[in-house]
Structure 1
């Protein structure tokens, strides 16, 4: 929570608690509090402001009864009547009452929130300036930090993974440079080591490019405006980028499915995603196999499927292939030059476009990766080839 928000909350709670204390506790001379006192209109305005605030605000009495809870707090499910339901929040309130201001992260159970467990940052403040008993009420201000903490964890893991992955090609380049120096009198060895240096340099360059792409997709840069994009153009661009590598392995890329589909997105990102799927199919295919890419409209989405007849993916790895730096066969990573980021980039492109990516695979039979992107609403769906043939017959 920013210092400005904390200051505003403190001032507002001070006004609210002043009115609350006046109404709840008798005066020292035994006279009942006067509801027409001038503080009440100000307290009403302060209470209105608290109700409109995004942070959840709870005011807890000395006996742990809830004196005030704004709508944001009740939406979290932490308050029922005058009871605060989360034990950790009650414990924090007691600590604040005994020792002053406290800050802590508290995990809220999923059954309370209704959308899975949430993590909230809590700032507890004691609203009684005196040190002598009895202690006064405690204000708790809660801000949902679930996504912020998750992003921090992702960033830490990402930096750690990148550092680990960079060590391999950098270390290989250092060793190869040393080997060339020692083999200066052997032209064949120098040529062989130079080829390996070129391979590792290419791998390093690819890793750096994909790290940059992934960091952008994960929120490093704002997503450009989504505009209508022709799926045919995306597939054509991806096939053109991959054709040279496919021909080098004797593979054909067949294009089929429906034409004329239009999605809302960023064409360059979608082309990169389909290119990564095709490159993955080329990498793990061999012989005279054919790679197919086809598009179709289904349930408001354009489905772009890339199918190969390669080695397939073991069952235990199918749920993890979209993780950053995950490789099904670590022993082949060096020979294929893969970075383990290609499919992670596909996943983030799909997510940023409101879509998804899935995989079907059987070992020895091949794999099919399907990218689903929402179609542009309001446009007629092109007829499938079968529908077109039926129309021509009639």
Structure 2
């Protein structure tokens, strides 16, 4: 009997100890969960959805500067990598806001990503989010900054380009006055004055044309354009100069190709390519102008046997006022805007332009436009001479 009581007593003590242990484990678990909530507090409700919807960069930092949440734009700009804010400049702004409690705004120039070389220009706004978090918002101003630089360069270039003919006109006017009693000198100065005046008029017209092409409504009303007619018109505008320099212009066969756009703008673009080909070709050379259609693309190809373009300059020939050969450009009256006008005219029609060239062998420029209508080649465009 005594042994039975001893067994029952031992069992009762074991059950009591087990229950107490389970209770302690449960309490410990609750305390651990509570502590985790203090150490890793939740981002305020709705912030996740707002950051996901942002096109700009949005970043939430905890007290240890860990990135709790970042918008897709923040990753795209290279501001966040491996759940860490990449740039110490932005961390310094976050520290300043934590200390002062006041929001602040800054313009920053940073590298794009942790290993990038390209700069990104940001407008940054930093503020507290609740009591523990800091919110950083950044708008990418890189494109705006680039456009500002382009505008400044354009104004500077225009001023420089206009200065020379304007100064020449003034000097020639003085020379005319001084040579009033010398008919031969008057004629010579008058001819030069006419040339400088024509150069100034061309430059002014091309600046106006380029400004119009850069407007968003440059091709406001697109209509079907007969590309064969565009090619013939552009070639005829250069026929007299070509014949005067004993240069042959050969035109390909009719294609019946059509694109949607502005016929006048496309004629200007092709005319500029043909004029360049004639101006940079030696006497007795041949300039070819043809149209190809296929795979939904209309190609206008202008090929010459001229001096060619060095490989290092081929990516720059479409820049405003860029000239491969400054001396030759002055002799031919070039303004340095012709190919820039071609590029913008083609881009406004949803196309692109490509160049192939080899010094001493010549160049080939290809305008590529979306095809509105394709037809088989049947008859010549015009005189192939």
TM over 0.5, shorter chain = yes
The equivalent of 2:85 in structure 1 is 84
What secondary structure is seen at the aligned counterpart in 2 of 1:260?
A: coil
Partner residue of 1:331 out of 314, 327, 330: 327
**What is the CA–CA distance in structure 2 between the aligned matches of 1:68 and 1:334, rounded to whole Å?**
59
CA displacement 1:147-169 (0-9 Å, x = unmatched)? 11111111111111111111110
Question: Would the alpha carbon gap of residues 123 and 366 (structure 1) be closer, same or farther in structure 2, given more than 3 Å must change?
Answer: closer
The equivalent of 1:15 in structure 2 is none
**What is the CA–CA distance in structure 2 between the aligned matches of 1:329 and 1:245, rounded to whole Å?**
20
**What is the CA–CA distance in structure 2 between the aligned matches of 1:163 and 1:89, rounded to whole Å?**
40
**What is the CA–CA distance in structure 1 between the aligned matches of 2:183 and 2:237, rounded to whole Å?**
35
**Residue 62 (str. 1) matches residue 63 (str. 2):** yes
CA contact (8 A) 1:122 1:140 kept: no
**What is the CA–CA distance in structure 2 between the aligned matches of 1:64 and 1:304, rounded to whole Å?**
57
CA displacement 1:125-147 (0-9 Å, x = unmatched)? 33279xxxxx8533211112221
1:50, CA displacement in angstroms?
4.7
Tell me the C-alpha RMSD between the 2 structures: 3.2
**Residue 107 (str. 1) matches residue 121 (str. 2):** no
- Name the structure, 1 or 2, with higher relative contact order (CA <8 Å, separation 6+): 2
The equivalent of 1:248 in structure 2 is 244
1:194, CA displacement in angstroms?
0.7
The equivalent of 1:356 in structure 2 is 352
1:345, CA displacement in angstroms?
1.2
CA contact (8 A) 1:353 1:373 kept: yes
User: For this pair of structures, how many residues does the alignment match?
Assistant: 341
1:117, CA displacement in angstroms?
4.6
Question: Would the alpha carbon gap of residues 314 and 106 (structure 1) be closer, same or farther in structure 2, given more than 3 Å must change?
Answer: closer
**What is the CA–CA distance in structure 1 between the aligned matches of 2:320 and 2:56, rounded to whole Å?**
34
**Residue 162 (str. 1) matches residue 155 (str. 2):** no
**What is the CA–CA distance in structure 1 between the aligned matches of 2:299 and 2:170, rounded to whole Å?**
44
What secondary structure is seen at the aligned counterpart in 1 of 2:329?
A: helix
**Residue 186 (str. 1) matches residue 182 (str. 2):** yes
1:61, CA displacement in angstroms?
2.6
**Residue 259 (str. 1) matches residue 232 (str. 2):** no
**What is the CA–CA distance in structure 1 between the aligned matches of 2:216 and 2:315, rounded to whole Å?**
26
Partner residue of 2:171 out of 168, 175, 180: 175
After the TM superposition, which parts of structure 1 deviate over 6 Å for at least 4 consecutive aligned residues?
none
What secondary structure is seen at the aligned counterpart in 1 of 2:204?
A: helix
1:370, CA displacement in angstroms?
1.4
CA contact (8 A) 1:56 1:72 kept: yes
In the superposition, the TM-score normalised over structure 2's length comes to 0.77
CA contact (8 A) 2:87 2:110 kept: no
1:343, CA displacement in angstroms?
1.1
The equivalent of 2:375 in structure 1 is 382
CA contact (8 A) 2:78 2:112 kept: no
**What is the CA–CA distance in structure 1 between the aligned matches of 2:113 and 2:244, rounded to whole Å?**
53
What secondary structure is seen at the aligned counterpart in 2 of 1:244?
A: helix
**What is the CA–CA distance in structure 2 between the aligned matches of 1:383 and 1:255, rounded to whole Å?**
16
**Residue 147 (str. 1) matches residue 150 (str. 2):** no
**What is the CA–CA distance in structure 2 between the aligned matches of 1:327 and 1:234, rounded to whole Å?**
26
CA displacement 1:257-292 (0-9 Å, x = unmatched)? 451112233222211110000111121224233322
What secondary structure is seen at the aligned counterpart in 2 of 1:107?
A: strand
**What is the CA–CA distance in structure 2 between the aligned matches of 1:351 and 1:169, rounded to whole Å?**
31
CA contact (8 A) 1:93 1:124 kept: no
Q: Which structure has the greater CA radius of gyration?
A: 2
In the superposition, the TM-score normalised over structure 1's length comes to 0.76
Question: Would the alpha carbon gap of residues 323 and 72 (structure 1) be closer, same or farther in structure 2, given more than 3 Å must change?
Answer: closer
The equivalent of 2:9 in structure 1 is none
**What is the CA–CA distance in structure 1 between the aligned matches of 2:291 and 2:216, rounded to whole Å?**
30
CA displacement 1:102-133 (0-9 Å, x = unmatched)? 312343526889xx95624232333279xxxx
Structure 1 residues without counterparts, runs of 5 or longer: 1-22, 27-32, 130-134, 387-394
CA contact (8 A) 1:118 1:144 kept: no
**What is the CA–CA distance in structure 2 between the aligned matches of 1:200 and 1:335, rounded to whole Å?**
12
Question: Would the alpha carbon gap of residues 299 and 48 (structure 1) be closer, same or farther in structure 2, given more than 3 Å must change?
Answer: same
Structure 2 residues without counterparts, runs of 5 or longer: 1-35, 380-385
CA contact (8 A) 2:86 2:114 kept: no
